[in-house]
Amino acid sequence: MKKLLLSALLLASTVTFAQESKLSVSGSVDTYYSTNLSTGALGATGVLTDVAANGFGLGMANTVFAYEGSKSGVIADLAFGPRANAANMYGKSVLDENGDAIGGTAGAINQLYAYYNVSEKVTVTLGQFNTFYGYEVISPAANFNYSVSYLFGAGPFSHTGVKIDVAASEDFSYMLAITNPHGFASGTNDTDNYQFGAQLGFKGQYLNLAYGADAFAFNGANLATDALYIDYTGGFDLSDSLYLGINAAYSNSDDADYGYQGVALYLENAMSDTFSLGLRPEFFQETGAADAKVFALTLTGSTQLDDNLKLITELRYDSTDADNPVWESVLPGAKDTVTALTIAAVYSF
């Protein structure tokens, strides 16, 4: 009887603590099968991973711990696996202008930040947070497609610094940020250089800007300090079931003699309550010393098997001009065109 009473008291105290603390846990797990339908290098194009799989592959295990207080809160977003490694540069370091390692993304941390609601309209965030750029995100649970676009792969992925979000009205919002150089999450900022970001939002359409130091843009061993990013992300309901998403981006650094530009469209049609069909055409071009062009077309079928499990089937075609460094880094030795099939399972909780 004493054990029963003690167990009841422990359970009651746990429930009370959870209610008072507003602690929540969510996340996802994903795995996939991919194969090239054309001859070439192993691995399907566009699958975000640090280990290209021609067969069965693992994505990542993602767990998000969120604690919300009366005016403040914290997010600890942890991710493990090949997808997380590729997105967060796990185990890699960034170099300063002297060629010395100054740090990279810390371990398996996808996001780690604290926030404070100054008012109902103003929020200040400090730490590492996913980028405000682009249409796609690291977690496959939040994307319609399983493979990622070249625009997503060009980054940035995450930022470490401080940002202020302001919801000026129901339709209009803006954000200002000061962060470490893109690609540099933690460690001593020996270069004492930073990146400045901004976002303007109006009725679901967002214009994103960033300028400053970029830890992945180099001219020799010197850190580029003039990297410019311009990004538009938005979309429109074409009908009750058909949605058109848009992502267009431009980046350039004279210091690094490198940049890119591109556009991707996201046509998504809800065929039923459990099945949707989508088409993503994309054009991507590197500029500067590396002049290369890529066209990709992805047909995606998404089936919601139950409240938690989603099955994604993709047929993707990629085409590039010859001697493309982007292509070679993704699929070494591949031909100029590749057609790939990917079937992924994404479980969200």
Q: What is the pLDDT of residues 240-280, one digit of tens each?
A: 999 999 999 999 998 888 899 999 999 999 999 999 999 99
| Any domain includes 343 | yes
Question: Does position 6 have pLDDT exceeding 50, yes or no?
Answer: no
| Any domain includes 3 | no
| Any domain includes 11 | no
Q: Output the pLDDT for position 141.
A: 95
Considering the entire predicted model, what is its pTM? 0.85
Range 311-330 average pLDDT: 76
Q: Could you give the number of structural domains in the chain? A: 1
Contact indicator for 67, 22 with CB cutoff of 8 Å: yes
At 169-205, the pLDDT tens digits run 999 999 999 998 876 665 555 567 899 999 999 999 9
Residue appearing with tokens 């319609």:
144
At 134-172, the pLDDT tens digits run 999 999 999 999 999 999 988 788 899 999 999 999 999
| Any domain includes 4 | no
Range 296-325 average pLDDT: 90
60 band by pLDDT with thresholds 50, 70 and 90: very high
The more confident residue out of 122 and 333 is 122
| Any domain includes 77 | yes
Cα dihedral 148, 150, 156, 157 in deg (nearest 10): 10
Contact indicator for 131, 159 with CB cutoff of 8 Å: yes
| Any domain includes 266 | yes
* CATH code where residue 221 lies: 2.40.160.10
Contact indicator for 138, 100 with CB cutoff of 8 Å: no
Round the average pLDDT of the chain to a whole number and report it: 84
Look at residues 276, 273, 272, 274 and name the one whose alpha carbon lies nearest to residue 245.
276
Cα dist. 182→79, 197, 240 in Å?
19, 11, 39
End-to-end CA gap in the chain = 36
Residue appearing with tokens 């001697």:
323
Look at residues 283, 278, 333, 265 and name the one whose alpha carbon lies nearest to residue 310.
278
| Any domain includes 137 | yes
Q: Largest Cα–Cα distance of the chain, in whole Å?
A: 77
Q: Output the pLDDT for position 7.
A: 47
| Any domain includes 224 | yes
Instruction: Report how far residue 176's alpha carbon sits from residue 199's, in angstroms, rounded to the nearest whole number.
Output: 7
Question: Does position 321 have pLDDT exceeding 80, yes or no?
Answer: no
Where do runs of H (alpha helix) occur along the chain? 2-21, 82-88, 150-154, 325-330
Task: Look up the domain containing 301 and give its range.
Answer: 24-348
